[in-house]
Structure formats: C-alpha cells, structure tokens
Amino acid sequence: MNYWMIALSPENWETTRRLGVSVQGFSTKQRKKAERMEPGDRLLFYVKDQRVFPATATIQAKLFEERSRVWTGLAPNEMFPHRVQTRPIAVMPVGKELDAALIAPRLEYVKRWPIEMWPLALQGELHILPRRDMGLIEGEMLRILRPGYLPPLAEEARPRRQFSRPRPLQTAPAPEGAGTSPKPSS
C-alpha cells in the first residue's frame, strides 16, 4: 500500500469537494506516478495557497483516462485526464481544515528541508508519503471529526514489548567437598 499526497490549488480542491471527494484527476506530467496507484492506496489532499490538509481518501480503482474539463491548470489546455475513483475517509468542514504549519514540521517527509522551509517539501503535484505521516495527519482529522475517537497507533509507534532482563541462574549449593581438590595422602 502506498500513501500519496496531492497538492491542489484552492479552486481545484473546491472542485474535488463538490464532487464528493469521489474522483481525483492528475496532470499529464504526473501520469507515470499516477499509474502506480492501486486500489487500497491512500490519498491525502493538501491545498497549496492555504497551507491546509482538508481530507483523506482511499483509492477505489485503477487509473483511467477521461478528457472532460473538470479541474483547471496553469496551462490552458490541461484537463487533468488521468483519474482515479476515491472514497472519502476524512473530510474536514470548510474553515476547519488542518493547519499544515502546525503539523507539517513533525512529518518525516519534510525533514530533508530546514524546518522553517517545510512548504518547499510540499511543492509539486504528487508525492509519496511515509506511512507514519499519513497516520499522523489522518489520525488528527478523525480525532477532530469524531469526538472521543482515539486513532490506532501507527505500527512504528507501538510500544515494544518490554522483556525483563534474565535473572542469573541460581544453582543448588555444591555438595560438601565438591569443587575442592583432593587432599594428598601422606
């Protein structure tokens, strides 16, 4: 299973939201990466200009191509034709999205950049994230959306079983005269 993050403009996120987070398109430049997506992979949404994480979803089917104009790009002819069907997992209410400035500096994915430059790590359209990062962000979303919800610990964060140190073997006392050298006879 892979964990993906798509970085969208506010307009394109609003389009995805209006579609019920049921489908997502990718630009022609991202075709090779998008072809690697499999059903069951997870997708995190990031809105670039607002620096928020608004939703997560599960990819439902393999990539397909459709040329209808749904999302808008910088290039006037970009149609985001490479698409996947998705099922929303966590969709934050408008105005309640997770502030990336509060959570992104804790992500493994951004550790290659100086902490104050974390937004540089999220440039570009499509990224593969570590499992721990996806769990951290989605867990926080679900905690907010479902009061009382406690997300399962990420596998890497689960406490390891503590073993006590082995105790030294206790041996029975040696029988009388054992362990001493025999007395020479005179």
Model confidence at 181: pLDDT above 80:
no
- Domain assignment present for residue 183? The answer is no
Quickly tell me which residue has 């995805």 as its tokens.
Answer: 16
Arithmetic mean of pLDDT over the chain = 82
Residue 119: CATH number of its domain: 3.10.590.10
Q: Is residue 87 part of a domain?
A: yes
pLDDT tens figures, 95-112? 999 999 999 888 898 888
If you search the block for the tokens 């992104």, which residue do you land on? 104
Quote the CA–CA distance of 121 and 113 in Å, as a whole number. 7
Q: Is residue 68 part of a domain?
A: yes
Residue 36 near residue 2 (C-beta atoms within 8 A)? yes
Asked if the structure places residue 113 within a domain, the reply is: yes
Q: What is the DSSP secondary structure assignment for residue 129, as one 8-state letter?
A: E
pLDDT-based confidence at residue 172 (cuts at 50, 70, 90): low
> Could you list the residue range(s) of the whole structural domain that residue 73 is in?
3-146
pLDDT of residue 156: 43
Q: Which of residues 170 and 101 earns the better pLDDT score?
A: 101
In a domain, 184, yes or no: no
Write the DSSP symbol of residue 38.
-
Q: Is residue 90 part of a domain?
A: yes
27-68, pLDDT tens digit by residue?
888 889 999 999 999 999 999 999 999 999 999 999 988 888
Q: Tell me: the pLDDT tens digits for 114-134?
A: 888 888 888 888 999 999 999
Measured in whole angstroms, the distance separating CA 109 from the mean position of its chain's CA atoms is: 9
How many other CB atoms are there within 10 angstroms of residue 47's CB atom? 21
**Residue 22 — pLDDT band, cuts 50, 70, 90?**
very high
Q: What are the distances in angstroms from CA 47 to CA 54, 93, 167? A: 7, 14, 56
Rounded CA-CA distance 156/177 in Å is: 56
Q: At CA 173, angle to CA 168 and CA 179, rounded to 5? A: 105
**Number of structural domains in the chain:** 1
CB 83 within 8 A of CB 71: no
Q: Residue with structure tokens 């934050």?
A: 92
- The first and second tokens of residue 92, run together, are 């934050």
Q: pLDDT band at 81, cuts 50/70/90?
A: confident
In three-state secondary structure terms, 145 is: helix
Number of H-type helices and E-type strands within the chain: 4, 8
- Contact by Cβ (8 Å): 92, 54: yes
Tell me whether residue 176 is in a domain: no
Domain contains 51: yes
